[in-house]
Structure 1
Amino acid sequence: MNYQTYQPHPDLESLVSCYWSLEVPASDNPQQQRIIPDGKIEMVFIFGDDIKRYTTDNNFILQPRAFVLGQILEPFCVEPTGYVNSFSISFYPFGFANFMEEPIKILANKETPIEKLFGKDVAEKLEHEMVWAKDTQVRIAIAEKFLLNRLSEASTVDSIVKSTVETLLATKGNTSISNIVKDDPSKRRQLERKFSKQIGISPKQLGKVIRLQSALKMLLSEEGDNLTKIAYKSEYYDQAHFIKDFREFTGISPKEFLGHENMELSSAFYK
């Protein structure tokens, strides 16, 4: 598996977390990979063979060749049908709302083809350019030209949403919404409404996802550490609380996560 990340242009770095590319050779025995919530929104382009996304244990759909994956709150499994070659733009939670006019919540828990968001002509031109680009650096240049053009047309995210996300990221999800709006509690309902529109999930849900991200990174970098210590460092109430949240977002326990063949891709993302 060849997974690479790339940093965005300075004019986009407050909205785009990174770009990443993934190549995996075709296998006679392809493995399902579990994708878990990370609080980000992805714009994905598939250049290799089709990829299955399982909707149940036995049923699947083929992912579109160019799509946006909105906020997810439950894990799902993907499986390659052959050679994997893909490129993605990974947006911060508040980032993608700057590039579309519709409420961001319409993207939640599914793949939305880019033509539904940007129109058929624009989407076909972008996808054609990405497919025929000679390498990843050219794809990044194409993506950034597209995003910068969209940015000049779209409205910006409300400052109350952006500052809340930044606070949650800075505190690794360990700041309550009550604490964030303590100077004006009347803003809480307004914040939750704006979050639903511009982020796609509630502030509390995003905080839980961000906190789990922190624990996952700790788990992967400190395999010898015990779960109680990781729970304490991540500011969970106790180990049981940590395991409960972990199962909610990954579908398995922390101990099952380590070394699990279906978690190879997610582990690469978090490392």
Structure 2
Amino acid sequence: MNVTFPLPPAHLTEFVQRILVIENVRVVTPFKLPLYANGTPTLVFQTAKGQIKGYSTHLTLFGQTVRPETLSLQNDFTLIAYFFKPFVLGPLFGVAAQELTDHPIALDLLESSKVATLMEQLLHAPSTRAMLILIDHYIYSLVVQAKMDLRLIEFATASILKNTNPAVLQTVQNKLGLTERTFQRMFENHIGISPNQYRRICQFNSAFQQLQQRKFDNLADIAFKHEYADQSHFIRSFKEFTGIRPTDYLNFGRP
């Protein structure tokens, strides 16, 4: 058995903390690898299928491991583990981190076709070095996509913040060249709410700031400036997000 810690390539260090390689393990009795809390999501590949939580796989994605766990292997194997930085699960794998806490998942359940190709290549790789290169390339493809997604969502949120008119959503979607469903999913994954809900919150917040500064003659002025349909529309929106009417807010602290 040979244990090494190759350095992550420079283009992955923003997301990968370290790499562990355990090569050429000869298994006589079942090999049990203890897994303890380490604060890092981890991608683990073994040339022999490993048993964990009742399922068997070659490629496993771990979230945070809080409770101790064991990876069991029955056959000779080489194991490669990529330890990620704590924030990686959402940006790279598109999964809510909490879903994987103490619940590792076979990677092919997240994106079956791409992972199936990777697994086939890994199982037929001529050397450990070749395996590392394959995993590097796979992770880098996720990094490139994640950075592209972040640029898209940054543009979208900034555009909506500047212009909260409902028509801005279609304009931004068209500029990004996205379908309505992809646009919706991008916001849900990165922001946690729909594009329209984000727009409505930006619209409310902008109007709320004007109300706080008392730079208006009447509520209709605020409604008009921030492109609400009318004063009643603004009042309904204000109450939705604060639980009170604008006049009640303005009267706070007054005798």
TM-score by length of 2: 0.53
Q: 1:152: Cα distance to partner?
A: 1.7
**Aligned-pair distance for 1:26?**
1.2
| Residue 106 of structure 2 is aligned to residue 113 of structure 1 | yes
Identify which of 71, 96, 100 aligns with 1:103.
Answer: 96
Which stretch has the larger CA shift, 9-18 or 91-100?
91-100
Give the structure 1 partner of residue 126 of structure 2. Answer: 134
Per-residue deviation, 1:31: 5.5
CA distance in 2, matches of 1:10, 1:142: 16
Percent identical pairs in the alignment equals 15
Unaligned runs of 5+ in 1: 56-60, 157-193, 198-271
Hey, what does 1:86 align to over in structure 2?
A: 79
Partner of 2:208: none
Give CA deviations for 1:8-35 in whole Å, capped at 9, x if unaligned: 11111121012222132112x4454432
Judge conservation of contact 2:63–2:89 (CA < 8 Å) in 1.
no
Q: State the distance in 2 between where 1:131 and 1:36 align.
A: 27
Task: Note closer, same or farther for the CA distance 1:65–1:31 as it changes in structure 2 (3 Å cut).
Answer: closer
Secondary structure at 1:44 match in 2: strand
- Whether 2:18 is the aligned partner of 1:26: answer no
Runs of 4+ off more than 6 Å: none
Question: 2:203 — aligned with what?
Answer: none
Q: Which runs of 5+ in 2 are unaligned?
A: 151-188, 193-255
Deviation at 1:78, TM superposition (A): 3.2
Query: Deviation digits for residues 143-186 of structure 1, max 9, x if unmatched?
Result: 22222222121245xxxxxxxxxxxxxxxxxxxxxxxxxxxxxx
Q: CA RMSD in A?
A: 2.6
Decide whether aligned partners of structure 1 residues 102 and 76 sit closer, same or farther in structure 2, where only a CA change above 3 A counts. closer
Q: Deviations over 1:109-139 (max 9, x none)?
A: 122111222x221111111111111112222
Q: Is the 8 A contact 2:89 2:96 kept in 1?
A: no
Whether the aligned pair in 1 keeps the contact of 2:89 and 2:95 (CA below 8 Å) is no
The residue type equivalent to 1:74 in the other structure is: R
Q: Whole-Å Cα distance in 2 between the matches of residues 21 and 80 of structure 1?
A: 15
User: If you compute each CA radius of gyration, which structure gives the higher value, 1 or 2?
Assistant: 2
Flag the 1:147–1:51 CA change in 2: closer, same or farther, 3 A: closer
Aligned to 1:148: 140
CA distance in 1, matches of 2:139, 2:131: 12
Q: Aligned AA for 1:13? A: T
Aligned to 2:181: none
Residues 73-120 of structure 1, C-alpha deviation per residue, up to 9 Å, x if partnerless?
A: 111233331323222221121234331223222222122111222x22
- CA–CA distance in structure 2, aligned partners of residues 44 and 31 of structure 1: 15
Higher relative contact order (CA 8 A, sep 6+): 1
Letter in 2 for 1:52: Q
Are residues 26 and 41 of structure 1, via their aligned partners in 2, closer, same or farther at CA, if it must alter by over 3 Å?
Answer: same
Aligned to 2:63: 70
Pair 30,102 (structure 1): closer, same or farther in 2 beyond 3 Å: closer
State the partner residue of 1:51.
50
What is the aligned residue count? 151
Counterparts of residues 177-216 of structure 1 (less than 5 Å): none
Residue number in structure 2 paired with 1:176: none
Could you tell me whether the CA contact under 8 Å between 2:31 and 2:74 is conserved in 1?
A: no
Matched letter for residue 59 of structure 2: A
SS at match of 1:64: strand
Give the 3 Å change call, closer, same or farther, for CA 122–32 of structure 1 in structure 2.
closer
Q: Alpha-carbon deviations, 1:53-72, whole Å to 9, x = none?
A: 3x5xxxxx243221201111
Structure 2 distance, partners of 1:34, 1:120, is 27
The letter for the 2-side match of 1:34 is P
